[in-house]
Structure 1
C-alpha cells in the first residue's frame, strides 16, 4: 500500500488522497475508511468518493500501474494514521489469508488422519502469523494438546516436560482454565511414566486445588479418577476404590460415561481384581468397557484416543479371566482385542502404546502355555516382549520397563521348561 498527496492531478488535488492497492478489493478498503470515520467523535461525517479503477486512465496516474481507488478523505494526521493502521492491517491479513487457510486446512487434515506431530508443527507455524488475535487462544490450546498427544504416543517424556515449560514461558498470559487443566494432565502423565510417587502426590494437590477454584470441565472429576487409578496401580486398593467411587458418582449425575471415563473405570476394576481376586470386578470391567460404542465416528478427540486403550483393556480383562479360570477360550478373546487396538497404534505412529500391546500379548501367550502346554506360542511371545523393550526403556519408562522385563523373565523360564537346551537371550 502507498499513500500519495498529489497536486497535479485534478482527481487527487486538494483534499484527496490516492491509495495504491495491489491485489485487493477497493470496496473492502472503503469499508475500512468508513469504520475509521465512524470512530471520529465530535467530527462531521466526511464524504467519501469512490472511483472505480475502470473509470481512470492509467496513464493519467503517473507512477501507478495497478488498480487504483481514490477517496475524498478528511485531512488530518490523526485520520491518515488511523486509516494507515486499519488498511495496512487489512492488507496484511489479505496477504496472510492464503497461508493461514493452507495451514488451517493442513491442521484439519492432520488431525483427521491422527498425525498429531504434523498438526503440532503446523499449529506452531500459525502462532507465528500476525493478525490472528481472536483465534490465538484456541490455536495455543490445540498446539499444546497435539504436542502432548504426539509426545505421549512416542514415549517422549522430555518432550512433555518441554511442553509444560514452553507453555509457562511463551503462553503464560493465555493460560486459561482449559489450558491449566491440560497441563495438570500432562504432569500426571509424566509422573506416571517416571514412576514418581512424589510427583503424583503433587499432582493430586494441584488437581484438588484446581477443582476447588474452577468449574470446568464437566468431566473434570474424571481426571481425579484417573489419578487415583494410577496411584492405585502401585498396589493401593484404597486409591483404586477412590477411583471407582468417582466414576460411580459421575454415573449418578449422567446417563453414561464418556469413552475416556469408561476406560479408566474399567482399568481401576481390573486392577482391583488383581489385588482382591474378586471375579465380580472383572465382569463389571467388561460390562463397562463393552458399553463403549466403538462404531461411533464423531467422538471428541479425547474419547477417540480412548478407544484403542479400551480395546487393550478388554484384552486385559480376558487375560485375567484366562489366568483365573484356566479356560483356554479366553486366550482367543484377549488376543483378538489386543489386535483391534493395533489398528489404532502402530510402531511408527505410537511406539509407546504399541509396545504396551506387545507386552500384553506376550504375557497372554505365556499364560496360555502354562494352561495348555502349547509351546509354539512362546517364540512369538519372546519376539513381542523384545519389541516392547525397544520402545519402553528403563530410562524413559522405568515402571513399564520393569513390567516388560517381568514378562521377559517368565518367557525365558517357560522356554527353558519347554526345551531344556534353550539358551537365554540377552
Structure 2
C-alpha cells in the first residue's frame, strides 16, 4: 500500500499538472483509509516497518505534498519546485517507515537540505538567508547528541532496529538520555528551542510553510515515540516534570505573543509552539492514552496549520501583504473563502468534531493523572488558542475592505479546493480511527 502511494505520487509529480494533482487527492483519501484500520505492525524485507503512528504520518506526508502542489500553482520555475516537493515527500515517507536507527537519522536530517533550497529559491525577503542559518544551527547542533547516543548504543551491543529497542534491557549506556531528546525537542519545537521556527515560516514560500508546520514538526514527535522505550525517562522524575512544565509555560507565553502579532504568518507560526506543548505532554507521559492523544494532535495540527498557511497565501495573493491591517473585509470579497476561513479557525481551537478536540481531551486526562498542577496551564493554552483563532477570523473577514481587494473578485476554485481538502479530513477522519 505504501509503495503504491509513493509510485502514484511520483507519477502525478512527473505529469506536473496542478489539476491532475488536486483531482488525485480524492483517490489518495480512499486508498489511505485501510492504513488507519490496521493496528498491527507491517514489515517489508526488514527495511521498512509501519505501525499505527508510522502509517498515519506516511499518509499525512503524501496528502499534504499534493496540497502543497495545489497551493503553489502560480510559483515561478514550477518544474524545479515540483521536483523539490517530490524529494521532500519521498524523504519524509522514508523517515516515517524505515526500521534502522541510522537510516532514520540520515533521513531525519536529510529532509533539511531540500527544505533549505525551497526557502532560499522561492522565499520572499532577503532575510531568508538568516532564517536558513538559524534553522541549520538549531537542528544540526541539536542532533549531534542523538548521533553520539545512537553510536554508543550500537557499539555497546544494542540493536539497529527501531522497533526492537524496547526489548533492550541494558539502558545504562544512555545515562544522559534526556540530552539525546534535544534533537526531537528542537524539531517539534518546544520553548525555548523554537526561535528558528517563526523566522523560517516568515521567509519561506507557502509550500515551505506547509512543509514546516504540517510535516517537519512531526518528525520530532515521531522520534520521541520510536525511542521512548529506550530513554530512561520516568513521568515522575524531576527532569521530565521540569521539561514538561517549561514547555507548557512557554506555550502559554507564545500563545500570548500571537495576540500581539501584526503578520499573519508569524501569528500562525507562533501558534504551532503552543500546540506542540500538548504533544510533548502526551509523549513524555509514557502512557497509551498520552501517545494516542499526541498522535491525534499531531495529525490534526498538520492538517489545520497547513490549511491556515494556505489561507494566508490566498490573502497574500490578493493584497500583496501579510499584515493584518492590509487584509480586511474578505467576507465581502468571497463568502465561500470566508466560510472556509471560519471552519479552519474553529478547528484550530479544537472545536468538535475535529481531531484536535479528541487529542486534547486525552492529554487533559493524562496531565491530570500525572499532576494537577498541569491543568491550569493546559486550560490557559486552550483558552488562548480560542482567542487567537477568533482573532485570525475577525481581523481578516470583518472591517473595511481595501480598495485593491474589491477589484480582484472571488478566489479561484483551486484555492477553495485546497482549503476544503485541508478541512474535510480534519473533521471527518475520526470515523476511521480504530
Q: Please state which structure has a larger fraction of its residues in helix.
A: 2
User: Normalization by structure 1: what TM-score?
Assistant: 0.31
Which one has a bigger Cα radius of gyration? Answer: 1
User: Normalization by structure 2: what TM-score?
Assistant: 0.30
Greater relative CO, 1 or 2 (CA 8 Å, sep 6+)? 2
